[in-house]
Chains A and B, each alone.
Chain A
């Protein structure tokens, strides 16, 4: 159309009555008259309900017959149907960028009582859409090859379960474990509440599975030093510390007998000891022992190599070196577990100052057959404890310790009574609590059963008033607090909560993720996607995003595995963000001011060409860099300066 105000665009304006939702208040005749007078649209087509099957057919026919290449739809919110119409347009070879909606329902007809005002507002919204549409540039759907391998950080039950589920599909899975062996916290206890399933029996076949699975590679005694990339294409750098024992070690333990150095065993909360050459438990994966360089006499004063001479396999190798490995993976799972709450700020609870005061973790470790004492609470003491008090919320719900409720420790506290009862059938148990938190019917049943067995549950309204004392003359431990008569018992057990693991902060920094106020990883969505993180392709399972029990950790692990498997299919490309930003390389001065603006670290500086470059695979399209660019060299696709400026003009001069 020569001389037309629409340039090379043949523009159609669809007006949707939305039954009568819009046309009741917006005067469509007036809009049509106005649009005709303005002359920058070629056709105005009115539909009763454009999103209905008939309406879509009408839409399709109009754009086909009239040979249009620019579409404005005045209807409901673009958030509802812009994609609907973009898809139809694409089927008719019209680029998605050419479909633009003016929201004259939610932001006009439904919020304006006056017909004139609504009609005038509709005009300016439509005008803005038209003005902007003339400047839109075609958008391209982009895909990229993706790695389908998965890297799991932390080989506790959550990490292991994720690995096992994913490896079944033939994908390669890497487990990076900080400790010398996988297994995690579940290995430190004998039974899992509330079912009281034997935990080593549960784990032993699982660990063997992992060991024998050709698709799972365990990198133990290792840590993550760097992560680059994005969903589908992460590059992870891992530092493996030397074990000084070769892989052919089968953990026959001959060397343990001759090693002259002992040290407290942190794996057992420092309750037992281990040698300078050690494993964590029988049947560990990887199986081989490790030499603790800090205490081994070969390293401290070169005075001992006894292990070398007794090893039947010649596995000892003092010359092993640190190894750095780079792994490409499509997804990353954080399953780094938790740390038990500590009681350093609660001297009144007598932990570590009074004998026979334990945390639930310590009690479980002592009563565990894998534990430091082979399952005996007091291996050197024949005296049978007659009574025990278990204090709930110890060190929790208190600003001196853990300010939140971990929601699992009540079950732990009940379990402590159950475990003591197994070893000492005649023991009298008191649980001192304020709130009682159980997260499922079985846990509650477990509590009821314990109560029925004779455990006394004592309500204390202010647990911060609890004091645990024992003078040298006392035979028993005295426990006092508001609202109950003091009791005297032989053992006190403190049910402490779940803290974020120590390395969360470092990992969050490496992965550029945020932690919540309690120090756990913030989930992608609190309801819809609790196992996702804020960064696409990085997931969390187990206690990474909140305290969970083993069963929930497994469920999360399987959810994560499912999510990853459905999105990363070997050989299939992944879709990338469409509305990315890009830099005009001729204009960019390399001032680097866009780099800190990017929330996704997708911009880097190329020192050779002296310009900044956006990695469009990482870009999520927020456009913050575009507003930060001081020389107008960055363009946000579909939201360019020109488009938005045209919209401003259109909306104000409509």
Chain B
């Protein structure tokens, strides 16, 4: 019997997803014995030409992490899609855009300015910015085109499964590999974590009273959070209610509120749902009273869509130059 072929690839991501695969510890060895890795740029030495040489659909499963922000990433993503039977959007970035998709709240020019000119760690006296083609010593160098918008993976290629998390947990990854080898994956299109909100697993949920109000939004560094009480009751914004279950509440157990990396609990808009929820617990019954509490949320989009801006209903900042 031939071993299932696995490809692991990365796009606009931090490498944490690749790291998380190694984090399943000795189980990786069992898995490695049962599968054949044909591509894993982060961990092993492969050439894309090797992949190009494979027959279409030859790869059993590809795990792709990161969203798509440049033409190179798009090209590789399309290549892998062509060569794979099944594609899993691995992690928050591939599924929803992830943290890098916060760039969608800015434009490319602002990104370049901040990254290549204004960042305090940058030394760029000639103010060189990335360009697709640039002349150096009579040669023309070509770089991939950086897009104005960061796309989630399924904006570019078809995706069969979504594995949430920033990064996905070791348990979910192990489970995914087991199902890849032994079968048992759900219907295509599924998100591989329970479609319920995180509160169901939260050890603090029982401390949340039936009725309470947030009269002032606090940030985590401003108070010493009670290690047992629901964060919302402590006036801390916890994204748990509008975030999918399945992470094991590791942040919450570390006394940090959920920031939402498992994405929306259903296939909805994580920010809209969180706003809908907060509406009935923020204190105030007049516009000015409401605004007083709302003022405590300095960056609503960044808070509610920290991992899902590319997947949000509005998707990105409106382009002014149309």
Contact = CB atoms under 8 A, between A and B. Distances in A.
A595 B211 contact: yes
B154 interface: no
B279 A595 contact: no
Contacts of B212: 596
Contacts of A631: 195-197, 241-242, 265-266, 273
A628 interface: yes
B245 interface: yes
Interface stretch (A253-261, A548-556, A582-590): A582-590
Contact of A628 (B195, B268, B276): B276
B277 to A, nearest CB: 4
Contacts of A397: none
Interface stretch (B70-78, B125-133, B185-193, B202-210): B202-210
A591 B199 contact: yes
A629 B276 contact: yes
B268 A590 contact: no
Given A595-B210, A630-B242, A631-B242, A587 B280 contact: no
Most chain B CB atoms below 10 A, which of A588, A605, A630, A632: A630
B276 A589 contact: no
B268 A632 contact: yes
A629 B198 CA distance: 13
A590 B279 CA distance: 18
Given A628-B280, A631-B242, A589 B265 contact: yes
Contacts of B205: 590-592, 610
A597 B213 CA distance: 11
A596 B280 CA distance: 6
Contact of B277 (A588, A607, A629): A629
A590 B199 contact: yes
A590 B208 CA distance: 10
Contacts of A629: 273, 276-277
A588 B198 CA distance: 10
A607 B210 CA distance: 11
B99 interface: no
A346 interface: no
Contact of A632 (B199, B208, B273): B273
B200 interface: yes
A624 B279 CA distance: 10
Given A630-B242, A630-B274, A610 B200 contact: yes
Contacts of A590: 199-200, 205
Interface in B241-285: 241-242, 245, 265-266, 268, 273-274, 276-277, 279-281
Contacts of B195: 587, 631
A226 to B, nearest CB: 15
Contact of A605 (B196, B210, B213): B210
B240 interface: yes
Nearest to A587: B196
B280 A630 contact: no
Interface residues of A, number: 23
A593 B281 contact: yes
A627 interface: yes
A342 B196 CA distance: 57
B205 to A, nearest CB: 7
Nearest to B206: A607
A593 to B, nearest CB: 5
B279 A628 contact: yes
Contacts of B206: 607
Nearest to B270: A630
A604 interface: yes
Interface string A565-592: 0000000000000000000000111111
Contacts of B199: 589-592
Interface in A611-654: 624, 627-633
A607 B281 CA distance: 21
Contacts of B276: 627-630
A597 B195 CA distance: 22
Nearest to B280: A597
Nearest to A632: B266
A589 B200 contact: yes
B210 A632 contact: no
Contact of A630 (B210, B211, B213, B277): B277
Given A610-B200, A632-B268, A632-B273, A591 B280 contact: no
Nearest to B273: A630
A593 B268 CA distance: 17
A630 B241 contact: yes
A628 B210 contact: no
A377 to B, nearest CB: 50
Contacts of A610: 200, 205
Interface in B167-194: none
B210 A596 contact: yes
B224 to A, nearest CB: 24
Contact of A624 (B213, B242, B245, B280): B280
A592 B208 contact: yes
A594 B242 CA distance: 12
Nearest to A591: B199
Contact of B265 (A594, A624, A628, A630): A630
Contacts of A592: 199, 205, 208, 210
A605 B208 CA distance: 11
A594 B265 CA distance: 15
Interface string A461-493: 000000000000000000000000000000000
Most chain B CB atoms below 10 A, which of A594, A595, A624, A631: A631
A632 B273 CA distance: 8
A536 to B, nearest CB: 21
Contacts of B208: 591-592
A86 to B, nearest CB: 30
B210 A587 contact: no
A632 B265 contact: yes
Nearest to B209: A592
Contacts of B200: 589-591, 610
A133 to B, nearest CB: 23
A247 B205 CA distance: 50
A629 to B, nearest CB: 7
Contact of B210 (A604, A624, A627, A633): A604
Nearest to A611: B200
Contacts of B241: 589, 591, 593, 630-631
Contact of B245 (A589, A595, A604, A605): A589
A628 B265 CA distance: 13
A381 B241 CA distance: 76
Contacts of A627: 276, 279
A176 B322 CA distance: 71
B115 to A, nearest CB: 34
Nearest to B213: A596
A406 to B, nearest CB: 28
Contacts of A604: 210
A588 B268 CA distance: 15
Contacts of A630: 197, 241-242, 265, 273-274, 276-277
Interface of A: 587-597, 604-605, 607, 610, 624, 627-633
Report, nearest first, the 4 A-B pairs whose CB atoms are least far apart: A591-B199, A597-B280, A589-B200, A631-B265
Given A629-B273, A630-B274, A632-B265, 8 more contacts: A589-B245, A591-B200, A592-B208, A593-B241, A629-B277, A630-B197, A630-B276, A632-B273
15 contacts: A587-B265, A587-B266, A589-B196, A589-B198, A589-B245, A591-B197, A592-B199, A592-B208, A593-B281, A594-B280, A596-B210, A596-B280, A596-B281, A629-B276, A631-B196
Interface of B: 195-200, 205-206, 208, 210-213, 240-242, 245, 265-266, 268, 273-274, 276-277, 279-281
